[in-house]
Amino acid sequence: MNNRPADRHKNKTLATLLAVALGGPGTHRFYLYGVRDFWAWIYVCAFALFVCAIVLAQAPHPLAISLLALFPLSIFAGWIEGLIIGLTPDDKWDAQHNAGSQRLSASGWPVVTLLVLTFAGGFTAVILSMARATDLFLTGGAYG
């Protein structure tokens, strides 16, 4: 077996974990597709924009900076990709990412657990972000 990236076995559980835990800067995209992946670099730029908004939100700022700081789009997108990766059937995963590998994927309960935690945490984060954005928009942040 060669050590070329196309021949390496891509672990579905690891890809899901990377998307959930470190999806904001796009580590799962770099793991799956390498440094030449266009979308991985979009994740990096969106995450950098989020970090800049967090820094700018410390001083007086317009509402747009607050919204950028409240809605980390790259992190939310990483969670959605984590759900997509985790819900992909093993045979389809192997056909797409492990065509040159001799091994077959056998994801189990760790992926299911990650999916449940991702959905619960992601839903909670989106609702909290929407509530805080509504507070900022309607009251100017008087309640927090």
CA dist 12 and 87 (Å) reads 10
CB-CB contact of 23 with 79 (8 Å):
yes
Count the Cβ atoms, other than its own, within 10 Å of residue 141: 12
CA dist 66 and 74 (Å) reads 16
Query: For the chain, how long is the longest CA-to-CA vector?
Result: 62
Average pLDDT, the chain: 86
Write the pLDDT tens digit of every residue in 34-90.
999 999 999 999 999 888 888 887 777 777 777 777 778 889 999 999 999 999 999
Look at the alpha carbons of 76, 113, 21, 84 in this order and tell me if their dihedral is positive or negative. Answer: negative
Q: Decide: pTM greater than 0.75.
A: yes
